[in-house]
Amino acid sequence: MNWLIAILQTTLFVALAPLLAGWLKVCKCYLQNRQPPSLLQPYRDLLKLTNKQPVVSEQASWLFIKAPYIIFSATILASTVVPLIAVDLPTSASADVIVMVGFFAFARFFLALAGLDVGTAFGGMGSSREMTISSLAEPAMLMAIFTLTMNASTTNLSLAISHVLEQGLVLRPSFVFALFALILVAVAETGRIPVDNPTTHLELTMIHEAMILEYSGRHLALIEWASQLKLMLYGVLCANIFFPWGIAQTFSLHDLGVGLLAIIGKLMVLSIILGISETLVAKMRLFRVQEYLGFAYLLGLLGMLSHIILEASR
Amino acid sequence: MNWTTTFLTQHVGWIAPEMPDKPIGDYIGGLVHHSPLDKVAVWQIADKHWQHFAITALEENLRWVAGWAEQADEQFIVNACFEKHGVYIVLRTLINGTKLELPTQATVYPAANRSERHTQDMFGIKFIGHPDNRRWTRHQAWDKHQYPLRKDFPVQGNPADITPPDMNYDFVKGYGAGVYEIPVGPVHAGIIEPGHFRFLAVGELILNLEERLGYVHKGIEKIAEGRTPESLARLAGRVSGDSTVGHCWAACQAMEQAAGIVVSARANLIRGIVAERERIANHLGDMGAICNDVAFTFAQMQFTRLRELWLRTNASVFGHRLLMDVVIPAGVSRDVSQLSCELLKKDIIQIREELAEIMLAVDLNSSLEDRLYTAGYLSPEIAAAFGTVGYVGRASGQDFDVRRDAAYAPYDQVSFKVALEDQGDIASRFWVRHKEINASLKLIERFIQLLPEGEITTTWKTPAIDSEGLGIVDGFRGEIISYIRFAADNKIARFYPRDPSILNWPALEKLALNNIVPDFPVCNKSLNGSYSGNDL
């Protein structure tokens, strides 16, 4: 039964990720006085890409062809670790948050290799930028997560969320710092404005898109899907760690239903916030990203310090 | 014979079959100081003085404007146009068919560089001492000894089944640890025209940028030969689609000059209205595109919306969204009714209000400011050295506007403030556009006020054989030069349109230096050169 729900949860993750991307697009369109595409447009795009024959460069090695599958699988595995609608699932018990970060790093490693593989200037440029950014983003993210796990005395996300739930609504300065740090990192890691622009057509400004410029057909569909999944993962992390209320603690149908509705509501709100912030700011210069992520790291560190100074003694 | 001779007879001192060896400086100085504004002097000199003249011209602070050649039987006529304080002179020399050589002016005027290479590619005229002997417009479409603008080259060309790729172009190389090349284009991810950019970069820093254009060469100069004035005006309107009014007007002005036709006041004012409407539409589009290139989509959407509303009025009043073929030889094709005038005025009030609102949001946005200020800096010295025109020049302190400094009808009846900034960065080019929009809105209002009753066309007179004209108009990118010479029977013998992009493109290579690679697209957009107008 537990495993069944774990599989159901992961399936939900994969199935709902394009919907989240669609909703985000709808929010942004409304904010920019545009007519939005249908909520289901990302699904249609994925379907369209899947039906198209991929075009692969003659110079590409096996790595280029396998990378989309590796990236997609690694991202799905990462999603099994994060509680979406219920805590105490066997998948999240067997792996903790460090494993999740590891899966992300694994996927990114192959994405960067695939970017380099074909030997175009843009792919290499994108890979190099992605690696620069992730080397700064990962410590910041771990710092934020460590703040949380020190609070709960565990790196297991399920247990940590249960811990937050038990404590009830307490305003902890460390959590506020960690939340903001995580949000900054999430924006950088998912390639959103102001760090990267997912909708740009300008090769020279791209980061994530530059690496996947050579992909087409089902390969591109998998990578697109994986990045939608990643966006959702970060959304769920922010939502469920810091605002876990509503998540199912038993596996009754009622609780699971409430859990599902709760997370959908939380993600909708988060998307609106992201949409507003993306409408308000322009993309920053590439060399500002280090300051931005340095700031995220600093917030994580402050979170940790305030935990030790203000909260740990109690 | 034509306006050339008329002009020269007024200033007898300048009629000299041979260039005098010593006092040319005095002549240029004298010319510049008291010439009437609406005429252009043509000065024929011996080919050996070609470079010498350029040196003196540079000392006299003349700006190099345009260069073109044409074939007349066995001889080739080479022209170079210069400007100072709004006075234009055309320098001309004849070279004969056996020894097609001319001393270069490109060592004196860097702006002449690509133009001379174009002439070399098209006519096989060799410029001695030219600093750059690589091909320019010529890719691989013609055989080595074929020169498409010569009379013996057929209009339809001799196209191969598949044009060979343009490989082995000798780009500037960089050496040293960590220096790498980034080839960009000619096929881009966005819907823009084709052009190749070759970067030398260390990390993200641009060490050198080289442009390789010519991918949209359409043979405009060749297919212009033998056209009637109406058909040439249509062709000129398609030299660069976004600047259709500007090019069309320049060509018509040149043809009218050649035929000695005076356009009615009403037609001139309507031309002014459409030209300013074109400027506003393009500036709105450009400002939005600059914002979009730094991912500030909100502003782009708003600017695009305003532009769209503006274009719809164009369609309802003038019958074409982009105002193509409104300007025709000897007049305009569309009259504006009283009702249309009211619509145009309403449009102006609306755009003023909405623009003010958007500019407030744009101006207060610090993240946008961070991207646009100090990026893509073009110093006034370099802007002057390359003779940049339009918003590129004006954003770098080049206070020149054909509409004011060499005013033609209807701009001679109005006064307006030329937008000027001196910071030379992307933000300056952005704000110059904004200022120009406001100035143009006022101009349109004034033109509507001045609009008299009357005919919108004049009867066309067949110009004499060999009569020529030089149209000089300020398009939205800046000064457009259009040279026309008539053959017999109302047919065009030579048409050379000089798009402002020809002067502005080289500036991009300079302003991109010391920027980082991801800032290049917005630098490029702030300049927004026309590929089509450059490649012809």
- Please report the pLDDT score of residue A61 as a whole number: 93
* Chain A nearest C-alpha distance from B477 (Å): 23
Q: Evaluate whether residue A312 is within a structural domain.
A: no
Q: Torsions phi, psi of B190, nearest 5?
A: -95, 175
Instruction: Please name the residues between 505 and 534 in chain B that touch chain A, using a CB distance below 8 Å.
Output: 516-521
Confidence of residue B5 (pLDDT cuts 50, 70, 90): very low
Question: Could you tell me the pLDDT band of residue A86, with boundaries at 50, 70 and 90?
Answer: confident
- Digit-coded pLDDT (tens) for A8-30: 999 999 999 999 999 999 999 99
pLDDT band at residue B29 using 50, 70 and 90 as cut-offs: very low
Determine, yes or no, domain membership for A13. yes
A25 Cβ under 8 Å from any chain B Cβ: no
Nearest to A282 among B296, B302, B305 (CB): B296
Q: pLDDT by residue (tens digit) across A105-115?
A: 999 999 999 99
And the tokens for B524? 């490029």
- pLDDT tens per residue across span B224-276: 999 999 999 999 999 999 999 999 999 999 999 888 888 999 999 999 999 99
Looking at this predicted complex, what is its ipTM?
Answer: 0.89
Query: What residue in B sits closest to A192 (Cα-Cα)?
Result: B295
Q: What is the mean pLDDT of residues A130-148?
A: 91
Structure tokens at B269: 């004012």
pLDDT of residue B304: 93
Task: Give the best-scoring range by mean pLDDT among B36-45, B94-103, B326-335.
Answer: B326-335
- Could you give the domains of chain B? 3-128 (3.30.460), 179-212 (no CATH), 220-535 (1.10.645.10)
In a domain, residue A217? The reply is yes
A285:B516 CB<8 A: yes
Residue B300 near residue B288 (C-beta atoms within 8 A): yes
| Residue A313 included in any domain | no
Note whether residue A216 is domain-resident.
yes
Nearest CB neighbour to B298, from listed A32, A203, A213 = A32
**Is A207 part of any domain?**
yes
The verdict on a CB contact (< 8 Å) between B189 and A202 is: yes
Cis peptide before B186 (omega within 30 of 0): yes
pLDDT range class, residue B32, cuts 50, 70, 90: very low
Please tell me if residue A266 touches chain B, with a CB cutoff of 8 Å.
no
Q: Are B256 and B263 in contact (CB under 8 A)?
A: yes
- Structural domain total, chain A: 1
Q: Where are the alpha helices (DSSP H) in B327-401?
A: 338-363, 366-372, 380-385, 390-394
- A283 and B516 within 8 Å at the Cβ level: the answer is no
Residue A314 belongs to a domain: no
Q: Is B202 on the interface with A (CB under 8 A)?
A: no
Out of B181, B295, B519, whose CB is closest to A197? B295
Mean pLDDT, residues A271-296: 92
Interface of B with A in 281-300 (CB under 8 A): 291, 293-298
**pLDDT given at position B36:** 34
A229 in any annotated domain:
yes
Which DSSP state fits B487?
-
A:88-147 residues touching chain B, CB 8 A cutoff: 121-122, 125
**Ramachandran class of A276: left when φ > 0, alpha when ψ lies in -120 to 50, beta otherwise:** alpha
Q: Please tell me the distance from the alpha carbon of residue B197 to that of residue B529, in angstroms, as a whole number.
A: 13
Q: What is the DSSP string of A196-232?
A: --TT---GGG-SHHHHTTT--HHHHHHHHHHHHHHHH
Judged by CB atoms closer than 8 Å, whether chains meet at A283 and B371 is answered as: yes
* Cβ contact B518–A33 (<8 Å): no
| pLDDT of B168 | 85
B249 Ramachandran zone, left/alpha/beta (phi>0; psi -120 to 50) = alpha
- Interface residue A34 vs chain B (CB under 8 A): yes
Q: Which of B293, B297, B524 to mutate to test binding with chain A, by most A CBs within 10 Å of its CB? A: B297
A132, closest residue in chain B (CA to CA): B203
Best residue in A27, A129, A202 for a mutation probing chain B (most B CBs within 10 Å): A202
For B150-178, what is each residue's pLDDT tens digit?
Answer: 888 888 887 788 888 888 888 999 888 88
Fill in the amino acid letter for B245.
Answer: V
Full domain range(s) for residue A112: 2-307
Whole-number Cα distances in Å, B239 to A132, B331, B535 = 44, 20, 9
How many angstroms separate the CA atoms of B54 and B47, rounded? 12
Q: Calculate the average pLDDT of chain A.
A: 91
Give the largest CA-CA distance in chain B. 71
The answer to whether residue B317 neighbours chain A at the CB level (below 8 Å) is no
B301 interface with A at CB cutoff 8 Å: yes
Backbone angles phi, psi at B175, to 5 degrees: -125, 160
Evaluate whether B189 touches B510 at the Cβ level (below 8 Å).
Answer: no
Residues of A in contact with B361 (CB under 8 A): none
Rounded Cα distance, B170 and B303, in Å? 40
